[in-house]
Amino acid sequence: MKTRVLLFALLFTGAVNYAQQDAQFTQYMYNTININPAYAGSRGALSIFALHRTQWVGLDGAPVTNAISVNTPLNESRLGLGISLINDKIGPTHENTISADLSYTIPTSETFKLSFGIKATANLFDLDVNKLNPVDDDPSLHDFNNKFSPNIGGGIYYHSDKAYVGLSVPNFIETNRYDDNEVAIFKEKINYYLIAGYVFDLSSYAKFKPALLTKMVKGAPLQVDVSGNFMLYDKFVVGVAYRWSAALSTSVGFQISDALYIGYGYDHETTDLKHYNSGSHEIFLRYDIFKKNNKITTPRFF
């Protein structure tokens, strides 16, 4: 128990002294709107998404994340709208992030479109001082009860029914959560994202999609996620992914109906943390509501 508490303390200290990163998702490609506002409305349907992620199971104070989002194209216009909520718990901290996204899409060819998006975010940050058990009580720590901070972000998304590439910065404003003698102890840093993927038709019943996510945060190691997913008979999805110097992941999914898709992912840690936890679990549901005569003919990976 002492080892786990000490380990978490080291993890938390490292995180707050260098850089806070956005919530992490293994199956980000099914809910791209969380990292790129230009994705809003790109599926051509009212898309509802819900996710639960439990990270580093068995490690005290490990991250637990819940996310829900809704995005849709607006009538026959080129506009898309999205709303999302992320609830993130890490040790003594608790965050609620509410975002609104607006996109504008320009057709560039018969198959490709270019979308631009902006994101407005409200963040509520809470620190439970009772979980810190400080030797000397610091009154300033009590100022973090649902502390509010606004932010704004943007992104571009170039896509077709088979391919996509996107660049985004969900938060342009760096926020100091706690300053001690003008030194930021807990600081929300700017996160830069690059995503890309392509769907290959292997046969009449099998498709393969390699995908890439690269995230860069000042003061933190470069994160690179490389994944490969197979879709069989437009119903079953199975895949593997590798997060550079962090984790090896497997995922499965099932298209229950034209509208409903369910997915599950498991991360096996490849760092020394693997000795202190039994992996990370992620499950999500996506439900699409299509207009009449506007239903996609085959399910998409993204």
Condensed to tens digits (0 to 9), the pLDDT of residues 59-103 reads 888 999 999 999 999 988 999 999 999 999 988 888 999 999 999
Say whether pLDDT at 48 is over 70: yes
| Domains of the chain in sequence order | 17-291 (2.40.160.40)
Q: Looking at residue 12, what is its pLDDT? A: 43
Say whether pLDDT at 40 is over 90: yes
Q: Looking at residue 246, what is its pLDDT? A: 86
- Alpha-carbon gap, residue 207 to 205, rounded angstroms: 7
| 107-111, long-range: CB < 8 A, 24+ apart | 108/158, 111/160, 111/161, 111/162
- Which band of pLDDT confidence, cut at 50, 70 and 90, is reported for residue 138? low
* Element housing 243 (H / E): strand 236-243
Q: Looking at residue 18, what is its pLDDT? A: 39
Mean pLDDT confidence for 259-277: 91
Q: Looking at residue 298, what is its pLDDT? A: 62
Q: Looking at residue 204, what is its pLDDT? A: 92
Q: Looking at residue 300, what is its pLDDT? A: 74
| Closest among 98, 89, 101, 91 to 121, alpha carbons compared | 98
Distances (CA, A) of 256 to 74, 124, 180: 26, 36, 52
- Alpha-carbon gap, residue 100 to 152, rounded angstroms: 10
Q: Looking at residue 178, what is its pLDDT? A: 56
Q: Looking at residue 166, what is its pLDDT? A: 97
Say whether pLDDT at 248 is over 60: yes
Mean pLDDT confidence for 149-170: 95
Residue 136 is encoded by which pair of tokens? 């000397």
For residue 44, which amino acid is it? G
| Mean pLDDT of all residues belonging to the chain | 84
Say whether pLDDT at 183 is over 60: no
Mean pLDDT confidence for 197-218: 94
